[in-house]
């Protein structure tokens, strides 16, 4: 089943066992659309190679199923992300700050937070500080300036990323969420706002991609 070519061929999936060496972190399992049996078999292959597990967009009932086969597996209900860190990692020196505009953005923010934690980053959370009450984020100006990289998670019109970027000298990772009313088009409005920001130094992720933001911010912090 295992191959010297650096992957394990399961028929329905070719598990990339060399990604840890190439990228510094094991292959991450995107769970949506996969059967629970497929997820389990992929996870077991990674565990056999003593690699960390990170399962994004993981539903609670599938986590409960997996827990029977992987006793150490943990789950963040809000972020819908499963994880198992098999090795203790030295905490990186830089601080990553994860900011959410509103409480409805927390699931995506938590997905980013768990990703950062499993990858060995030091982080702090700053939640519900959207532009409808801009004084809330400005009140934490000292915390903003301590960060090595900042993730901003926002739905609606997505303006918070530009505001934060204009206040700091570090890279900002912007994550649009699907939170919003009809004309937000399930996150498209926020995505376009972030892509069209006039504040330089912003890297914009795809809609609801908290994992991608955490991964990218970890690379920056590294």
Instruction: Write down the residue that tokens 């400005």 correspond to.
Output: 138
Tokens representing 78 are 């809000």
Tally of domains within the chain = 2
For residue 97, pLDDT beyond 60: yes
On whether both 41 and 112 belong to a single domain, the answer is no
Domain finish residue from 52, 84, 116? 84
Residue 99 lies in a domain: yes
On whether both 78 and 102 belong to a single domain, the answer is no
Mean pLDDT of the residues in the chain: 91
Q: pLDDT tens digits, residue range 132-177?
A: 899 999 999 999 999 999 999 999 999 999 999 999 999 999 999 9
Mean pLDDT of 171-190: 95
Sheet of 81-84, strands arranged across = 29-30, 53-56, 81-84, 74-76
Residue 89 lies in a domain: no
For residue 67, pLDDT beyond 80: yes
For residue 13, pLDDT beyond 90: no
Domain finish residue from 59, 84, 109? 84
Residue 113 lies in a domain: yes
Confidence (pTM): 0.90
Residue 129 lies in a domain: yes
Give 107: exposed, middle or buried? Use CB within 10 Å, 0-12, 13-18, 19+. buried
Residue span of the structural domain in which 154 resides: 95-221
Domain finish residue from 25, 54, 84? 84
On whether both 80 and 100 belong to a single domain, the answer is no
For residue 91, pLDDT beyond 80: no
On whether both 126 and 78 belong to a single domain, the answer is no
Q: Please tell me the predicted confidence (pLDDT) of residue 5.
A: 79
- Which neighbouring-strand residues pair with 15? 8
């Amino acid at each position: 089943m295992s191959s010297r070519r650096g992957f394990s061929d399961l028929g329905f999936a070719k598990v990339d066992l060399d990604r840890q060496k190439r990228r510094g972190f094991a292959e991450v399992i995107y769970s949506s659309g996969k059967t629970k049996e497929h997820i389990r078999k992929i996870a077991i292959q990674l565990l056999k190679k003593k690699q960390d597990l990170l399962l994004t967009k993981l539903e609670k009932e599938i986590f409960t199923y997996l827990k029977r086969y992987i006793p150490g597996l943990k789950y963040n209900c809000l972020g819908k992300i499963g994880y198992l860190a098999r090795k203790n990692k030295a905490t990186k020196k830089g601080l990553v700050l994860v900011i959410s505009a509103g409480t409805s953005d927390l699931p995506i923010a938590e997905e980013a937070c768990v990703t950062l934690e499993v990858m060995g980053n030091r982080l702090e959370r700053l939640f519900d500080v959207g532009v409808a009450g801009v004084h809330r984020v400005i009140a934490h100006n000292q915390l903003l300036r301590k960060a090595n990289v900042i993730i901003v998670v926002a739905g609606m019109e997505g303006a918070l990323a530009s505001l934060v970027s204009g206040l700091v000298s570090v890279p900002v990772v912007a994550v649009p969420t699907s939170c919003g009313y009809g004309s937000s088009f399930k996150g498209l409005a926020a995505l376009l706002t972030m892509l069209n920001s006039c504040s330089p130094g912003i890297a914009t992720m795809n809609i609801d991609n908290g994992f991608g933001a955490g991964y990218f911010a970890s690379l920056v912090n590294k």
